[in-house]
Amino acid sequence: MFFPLSVHALTIGGYEVPQVIPASSQHAELKLNGASMRILYGVVDTYVGKLYVENPVTDAAALIAADEYKRMVFQVVLKRVSGRRMATAMYEALQLNTTREEAKRLETRVQQIVKMFDTRFTKGENGYIEWVPGQGSRVVVRGEVKGVIPGKDLYDAILRIWIGDNPVGASFKRQVLGLEEYQAPKSVRKKGRR
């Protein structure tokens, strides 16, 4: 059984992270599995990553294997960033979490996602990729559905960017898995107290 690390509202980088996404006509209630700040080069906050699922678990393999609705949210914290840059970074991270054969099989579909993210994001805006059982990976940018790409193997590969063997960051992975709670780096915490 999964017990969330905290029941209080979580705030990361000044952005509130809801514990629950209410049920809709398309999905059951989604619960926060975990969230973290993606920090580039150890100093640049890029986005708040939030993972919502129907049934939170702390085991990466079980989370990837589950064929239930999942949503990976990317909330931009930079002043401006191109969606293509974010998608290209995702593509590069995907290469670290797939075999050469898998990468080749996924290539065309990954390029579709890159095209769907071809926009400019500003601070506070978000996009997400969600697994919709029986349909595929749905890409949503600023609330607009950009498309659905079939194949659970694609979503599993994208999810491994966050929680696979070579994640974007070890602490990011632990936090998204709900194994530890996000804490701002000490330099940021000190800065906030002034």
**pLDDT grade for 40, boundaries at 50, 70 and 90:** low
In our burial notation (b when 16+ CB lie closer than 10 A, e otherwise), range 66-83 reads: beebbbbbbbbbeeebeb
In CATH, what number is assigned to the domain containing residue 101? 3.50.70.10
Per-residue pLDDT, 185: 67
Domain count of the fold of the chain = 1
pLDDT value at residue 2: 41
Residue 21 in this model has a pLDDT that exceeds 50: yes
pTM of the model: 0.85
Angle between helices 152-163 and 83-96 (to 10 degrees): 90
Over residues 168-189, the pLDDT tens digits come to 889 999 999 999 888 776 654 4
Domain assignment present for residue 194? The answer is: no
- Residue 118 within a domain: yes
Where in the sequence is the domain holding 96, given as residue range(s)? 10-184
Residue 2 covered by a domain: no
Domain-located, residue 153: yes
